[in-house]
Amino acid sequence: MLTGKQKRHLRALGHSLKPVIMVGKGEINEALIKETGDALTFHELIKVKILESCLLERHQVADELAEACQAEVTQILGRTILLYRQAKEPKIELPKEKKKK
């Protein structure tokens, strides 16, 4: 589970990214899940664009994709979703949690 500070950091990194995955009228299927998983393995942080032809609600798309790929939804903004899954050898360094006194 990501903290608020970590999510803010990831949103800042994701701002300049271009969408890698497009969800259209085919909606969520095995091929899309595999492609999303592969993209997360390679990039760690990806943008997913929901096209107008997709009949699913954006939060439903985000939740289903995140669950299927064991990823975290970092942001849902309009029809764009930002997904994060830490790699075995992380490329993105997340801010550390401060220990409470």
Domain membership flag for residue 97 = no
pLDDT in the model for residue 27:
80
Q: Does 26 map to a domain?
A: yes
Q: Tell me: pLDDT of 81 over 80.
A: yes
22-75: pLDDT as tens digits: 999 878 899 999 999 999 999 999 999 999 999 999 999 999 999 999 999 999
Q: What is the pLDDT of residue 99?
A: 64
Cβ atoms within 10 Å, residue 49: 16
Residues of the domain holding 69:
4-84
Query: How many domains, in total, are found in the chain?
Result: 1
Tell me whether residue 27 is in a domain. Answer: yes
Q: Please tell me the distance from the alpha carbon of residue 65 to that of residue 72, in angstroms, as a whole number.
A: 9
Closest CA to 51 of 19, 83, 31, 24: 24
CATH number at residue 75: 3.30.110.60
Token representation of residue 99: 């220990």
Residue 18 located in a structural domain: yes
Residue 100 is predicted with a pLDDT of 61
Q: Give the pLDDT of residue 101.
A: 59
Lay out the sheet containing 72-77: strands in order across. 19-23, 45-50, 80-84, 72-77
**Is the residue at 93 inside a domain?**
no
Encoded tokens for 41: 């393995």
